[in-house]
Amino acid sequence: MVKKRKRFSAEFKSRVAIEAIKELQTINELASNFGVHPNQISLWKKQLREKVPEIFSDRRIKSEQADDRLKARLYEEIGRLKIELDWLKKKFKGLR
């Protein structure tokens, strides 16, 4: 018999990780309450602690700005290629 893996939403994972960071209950108690293996909760807690500084860092903003510049450049390229394609289609029809 093959067990199906459970998929948890990001909201659920964050809620469990935040509860683990609060340390009002043990990891085992949280695991029992949420129906998740204690190792999984420890992993989510570790991931949360590692990612929190990024939320407040300037690098994240710079990364988003770089993504926006890349998107703009790609959209420009798509526009140029579409114009070239339309021109080639028009020229090809004229050769027939």
Q: Domain limits of the chain?
A: 8-56, 57-96
Distance between CA 35 and CA 57 in Å, rounded? 34
Distance between CA 45 and CA 87 in Å, rounded? 56
State the DSSP H helix or E strand holding residue 82, giving kind and residue range, or none if neither.
Answer: helix 58-95
Predicted confidence at residue 53, as pLDDT, reads 84
pLDDT tens string, the chain, 96 residues long: the values are 777 778 899 999 999 999 999 999 999 999 999 999 999 999 999 999 998 887 777 777 788 888 999 999 999 999 999 999 999 998 888 776
Predicted confidence at residue 49, as pLDDT, reads 93
Is residue 41 exposed (0-12), middle (13-18) or buried (19+ Cβ within 10 Å)? Answer: buried
